[in-house]
Structure 1
Amino acid sequence: MAEQQRRGLGFYSADPAQHTLLEDGQGLFIGAMVSALGFYFLNEVGLLTGGTAGVAFLLHYAFGISFGLLFFIVNLPFYYLSFKRLGLAFSLKTFIAIALVSVITEVESHFFLIQYLHPFWAALLGGLVLGYGLLGLYRHRASLGGVGILAIYIQERFGIQAGLIQLAFDLCVMLCAFAVVSPITVAWSVLGAVVLNLVLAINHRSDRYIVAR
């Protein structure tokens, strides 16, 4: 009886292939919090990652502009593809996730401070945390925009794993990074990007996570 009441109040969906607004809301918030933490680890030691976040990091390090602001702006052109190919619901949830991450990355440093973080550990931990943040967002049919939007579309359309698609783009971003940061920083960043995309490639499959559009 209590379970039926909770379902009736919309706390969670009786259909495992669908999410309620509450489930999506908490999923987007948690995914954004976890992802922002991953970005924090990378930013603390001057590392970067791939995708649109990598582009935002490159511009951030080159010109000193806020990463959160750049991350939000760089993703703007991809919303048209998201709307046309993946639908309004996915696009809206992705927009919310990106906005949350952009804001959280700007304020989280006011709440805690890491005194020392080795680049190797930042790359490893940052990649793992970002990977799980993205998995959470994918589970609720959202992403962190940019290449993630394109990767999910290609995975659903052609069956190619999203992590492998992102890995190829990430390597291109890393090549451009040589113009902005040191070679050793690029090397640590590549490690983080590989860890991130392996987490996605191993754990995310469209036939395992089937959510109504």
Structure 2
Amino acid sequence: MNTHRLKTEVINSLFILSGALLLALGLVWFFIPNGLLTGGSAGLSLLLHYISSYSVGFIMLAINLPLLIIGYKYLGKMFTLRTILTIVLISFLVDFGIEVLELKAFVLDRVLASLFGGVFVGLGLGLVIKGNSSAGGSTIVARIISSRTEIKASSVIFFIDLIIIGSALFLFDDRVSVLWSVISIYVTTKIIDFILTGRLDKKVVYLVTNKIELFKRLIKEELGPHGTVLQGQGLENDEDKRMILIVVEVSKLQVLRKMIKNNDQDAFLIISEANEMLGRDD
């Protein structure tokens, strides 16, 4: 193993270790004491834990290890090994925290637990994924199904989460906890996105106008010199059109809107999220 690969594996291992610890703390401190659920195999493990006498860690192993054996050829050797390490580590940390360290609830409040638990689990899963691993469960099933069908992996994961939440609605009388679990899953998803793509406080703006030269000058003066002029064509009459593509800080969007309102009422504006930016912006 060369030095670069060794360094990569060490970094991956640190991500996995940190992620497993945060995920386990999220379950032990917030979810389990408050009777909440999350998504994926962790959510299914919590659901089965609430209706049985088995520990969360044991159930996680029982669910995931058979799936890993089945899905080995779809995941690859190294990814499978990292995932096994991750699952064993999370399972151990959860049961160790409850049975040996006897960790208590960080807070006994479903609202706070769903929010902060979602943050902890989201951070944990995000770091695990950055470590080129997974927490198993729905990720494995999603990879298998998406490789054999045209169904997207994200759709499979969403459907599995839907089944878990739907089952909880039928099994438990406390529907408030189930609904707060949905909020927690949403928080977890957003935190994972933040970890993997970074949350940029910027928007992508497309400006279609007949006054390109005027807006090029105004944008340089008010917003900065970076941007691109694109050539296009109208669908209805094949008329040549030009548009300006720029990335704008959210705090300066109102400046741009006012600029357009004052100079071209017929301009067409599209604003979208800038989830990730790489390279130069000029």
Question: Which TM bucket (shorter chain)?
Answer: 0.7 to 0.9
CA distance in 2 between partners of 1:180 and 1:149 (Å): 26
Residue 26 of structure 2 contacts residue 117 of structure 2 at CA under 8 Å; is this kept in 1?
Answer: yes
| Partner deviation per Cα, 1:28-49 (whole Å, 9 max, x = no partner) | 2111101111112101111111
The corresponding residue for 1:3 is: none
Task: Indicate the structure with greater helix content.
Answer: 1
| Partner deviation per Cα, 1:144-171 (whole Å, 9 max, x = no partner) | 001123446759x989684x65333212
Specify which of 84, 105, 109 is matched with residue 114 of structure 1.
105
The corresponding residue for 2:122 is: 131
Q: Check 1:125–1:152 CA distance in 2 against 1; reply closer, same or farther (3 A cut).
A: farther
Q: TM-score, normalised by structure 1?
A: 0.77
Q: Which amino acid aligns with 1:76?
A: L
Displacement after TM superposition at 1:115 (Å): 6.1
Residue 167 of structure 1 contacts residue 197 of structure 1 at CA under 8 Å; is this kept in 2?
Answer: no
Q: Check 1:172–1:202 CA distance in 2 against 1; reply closer, same or farther (3 A cut).
A: farther
Q: Root-mean-square deviation (CA), in Å? A: 2.8
1:68 aligns with 2:57: yes
The corresponding residue for 1:28 is: 16
Specify which of 63, 66, 81 is matched with residue 77 of structure 1.
66
CA distance in 2 between partners of 1:27 and 1:89 (Å): 15
| Partner deviation per Cα, 1:167-208 (whole Å, 9 max, x = no partner) | 332122100012332211111111111211233345536xx7
Residue 47 of structure 1 contacts residue 188 of structure 1 at CA under 8 Å; is this kept in 2?
Answer: yes
CA distance in 1 between partners of 2:118 and 2:14 (Å): 22
CA distance in 2 between partners of 1:87 and 1:60 (Å): 30
Specify which of 190, 194, 208 is matched with residue 198 of structure 1.
190
| Partner deviation per Cα, 1:78-102 (whole Å, 9 max, x = no partner) | 2135421120100000000000000
CA distance in 2 between partners of 1:19 and 1:167 (Å): 34
The corresponding residue for 1:95 is: 84
Q: Check 1:59–1:21 CA distance in 2 against 1; reply closer, same or farther (3 A cut).
A: same
Consecutive aligned runs of 4 or more in structure 1 exceeding 6 Å deviation? none
Specify which of 156, 159, 172 is matched with residue 168 of structure 1.
159
CA distance in 2 between partners of 1:44 and 1:125 (Å): 13
Q: Which amino acid aligns with 2:86?
A: A
| Partner deviation per Cα, 1:4-53 (whole Å, 9 max, x = no partner) | xxxx8x5xx4x8xx853322222221111011111121011111112122
1:179 aligns with 2:170: yes
For these two proteins, the number of residue pairs brought into alignment is 191
Displacement after TM superposition at 1:77 (Å): 2.7
Q: How does 1:145-156 map to 2 (within 5 A)?
A: 145-151=136-142, 154=146
Mean Cα displacement is larger for which, 118-127 or 108-117?
108-117
What runs of 5+ residues in structure 2 fail to find an aligned partner?
198-275, 277-282
If asked which structure has higher relative contact order (CA below 8 Å, sep 6+), I would say 1
Secondary structure, counterpart of 2:171 in structure 1: coil
Specify which of 82, 87, 94 is matched with residue 105 of structure 1.
94
1:38 aligns with 2:26: yes
